[in-house]
Structure 1
Amino acid sequence: MTDSTKSSVNKEAVETDSSRRKFLKGSLAAAGGVAAGTTILGAPYVNAQAPLVMRMQTSWPSGNVWQQFAQNYADRVEVMSGGRLRVDLLPAGAVVGAFQVMDGCNDGILDAAHSVPPYWYGKHKAASLFGTGPCYGGDAINFLAWFYQGGGDELYRELTQDVLGMNVVGMLGFPHPSQPFGWFNVEVNSVEDLRGLRYRTVGLAADLLQKMGMSVSQLPGGEIVPAMERGVIDAFEFNNPSSDRDFGAQDVSKDWYMGSYHQAAETMEYIFNRDFLEDLDDDLRAIVMHAVEAATLHNICASHDRYSRDLVGLVEEDGVTLHRTSGEILDAQLEAWTELEAELAEEDPFMEKVLASQRAWFERTAYYTLMNTGEATMERAYEHNFPGRLV
Structure 2
Amino acid sequence: MKDTTENKTFSRRKLLKGGAIAAGATAASTLAAPAVVGQSATVVKMQTSWPSSDIWMDFARQYVERVEQMSGGRLKIDLLPAGAVVGAFQVLDAVNDGVIDAAHTVPVYWYGKHKAASLFGTGPVFGGSATTMLTWFYAGGGQDLYKELTQDILGLNVYGFYGFPMPAQPFGWFKNPVTSVNDVQGFKYRTVGLAADLMQRLGMSVAQLPGGEIVPAMERGVIDAFEFNNPSSDMRFGAQDVAKNYMLSSYHQASESFEFLFNKDFFDDLPEDLQAILKYGVEAVSTSNTALAYDNYSADLKKLQEEHGVTVHRTSKEILDAQLKAWDAIIPELEQDAYMKKVLDSQRAWVERVVFYELMNAPDYALAYDHYFPGKLKL
**Fold match, TM over 0.5?**
yes
Q: Which runs of 5+ in 1 are unaligned?
A: 1-14
Q: Would you say the 8 A contact 1:24–1:52 is kept in 2?
A: no
Q: Deviations over 1:61-116 (max 9, x none)?
A: 00000001011011111000000011111100111110011111100111111000
Residue 83 of structure 2 is aligned to residue 93 of structure 1? yes
CA distance in 1, matches of 2:83, 2:22: 36
CA distance in 2, matches of 1:368, 1:96: 43
Q: Would you say the 8 A contact 1:38–1:44 is kept in 2?
A: no
State the AA in 1 paired with 2:238: G
- Per the alignment, residue 384 of structure 1 pairs with 371
CA distance in 1, matches of 2:308, 2:203: 31
Matches within 5 A, 1:227-306: 227-306=217-296
Post-superposition shift, 1:44?
Answer: 12
Runs of 4+ in 1 over 2 A off after TM superposition: 15-39, 43-47
Post-superposition shift, 1:293?
Answer: 0.4
Residue 182 of structure 2 is aligned to residue 192 of structure 1? yes
Matches within 5 A, 1:319-358: 319-346=309-336, 348-358=337-347
CA distance in 1, matches of 2:245, 2:360: 34
CA distance in 2, matches of 1:179, 1:171: 21
Could you say if the C-alpha distance between residues 193 and 25 of structure 1 is closer, same or farther in structure 2, counting changes exceeding 3 Å? same
- Per the alignment, residue 131 of structure 1 pairs with 121
Post-superposition shift, 1:20?
Answer: 9.1
Alignment partner of 2:19 out of 11, 25, 28: 28
Q: Would you say the 8 A contact 1:35–1:47 is kept in 2?
A: no
Alignment partner of 1:73 out of 52, 56, 63: 63
When structure 1 is superposed on structure 2, of 180-189 and 215-224 the one drifting more is: 180-189
CA distance in 1, matches of 2:215, 2:257: 23
- Per the alignment, residue 196 of structure 2 pairs with 206
Given the two structures, how large is their TM-score scaled by the length of structure 2? Answer: 0.93
Q: Deviations over 1:23-44 (max 9, x none)?
A: 96388358537735779xxx99
Q: Would you say the 8 A contact 2:68–2:77 is kept in 1?
A: yes
Post-superposition shift, 1:367?
Answer: 1.1
- Per the alignment, residue 355 of structure 2 pairs with 366
Post-superposition shift, 1:304?
Answer: 1.1
Q: Would you say the 8 A contact 1:132–1:264 is kept in 2?
A: yes
Q: Would you say the 8 A contact 1:17–1:109 is kept in 2?
A: no
Q: Would you say the 8 A contact 2:13–2:270 is kept in 1?
A: no
Percent of aligned pairs sharing the same letter:
62
State the AA in 1 paired with 2:19: L
CA distance in 2, matches of 1:24, 1:64: 37
Post-superposition shift, 1:189?
Answer: 1.1
Q: Deviations over 1:161-216 (max 9, x none)?
A: 00000000001110001111000123311111111100000110001111111000
Post-superposition shift, 1:324?
Answer: 1.2
- Per the alignment, residue 12 of structure 1 pairs with none
Q: Would you say the 8 A contact 1:38–1:45 is kept in 2?
A: no
State the AA in 1 paired with 2:211: G
Aligned length: 371
State the AA in 2 paired with 1:179: Q
- Per the alignment, residue 74 of structure 2 pairs with 84
Give secondary structure in 1 for the equivalent of 2:162. strand
- Per the alignment, residue 152 of structure 1 pairs with 142
